[in-house]
Amino acid sequence: MSEQTTFGGRLKDFRKAKKLSGEELGGIVGIGRGQVSSIENNKSMLTLEGCIKLCNAYPELDANWLITGQGEMLKDSEQSNGDCWPLLQAERIKSETLEALLSKHGIIK
């Protein structure tokens, strides 16, 4: 069953489509397997830098789909992620805000 309604669900769908383990995906984006699991379970967010690393490692991944759920997971070869950078910036701000709130309420340190 597809879990494409959330960023974490879409990341998990992409990881499974590429037959990557959590550890392998973590190595690509520079985080541990546990952090990948937290992201896939919507308990934390992938950083902007992590999104960029993932899109650079897999240019066929549609960053717009990953961030918003709109469109298809894989893009046509002539499409580019250039129009998605504003979305990545917005996602970074969202991630920082979420981390600040979770920290403020003692959920994360």
pLDDT tens profile 9-20: 999 999 999 999
pLDDT tens for each residue of 40-53: 999 999 998 899 89
Per-residue CA distances from 20 to 43, 58, 87 (Å): 20, 12, 25
pLDDT of residue 46: 92
What's the CA gap between 53 and 61, in Å, rounded?
Answer: 11
pLDDT of residue 41: 94
pLDDT of residue 1: 39
pLDDT of residue 90: 79
Q: Is the pLDDT of residue 99 over 60?
A: yes
- Taken in order of first residue, the domains within the chain and their CATH numbers are 7-104 (1.10.260.40)
pLDDT tens for each residue of 24-42: 999 999 999 999 999 999 9
For the CA atoms of the chain, what is the radius of gyration? 14
Token pair belonging to 107: 């959920």
pLDDT of residue 81: 52
Q: Which long-range contacts (CB under 8 A, 24 or more apart) does 29-34 make?
A: 29/53, 29/54
Alpha helices, DSSP H, located in 1-109? 7-17, 22-29, 33-40, 48-57, 63-68, 85-104
Average pLDDT over residues 91-107: 83
Mean pLDDT of the chain: 85
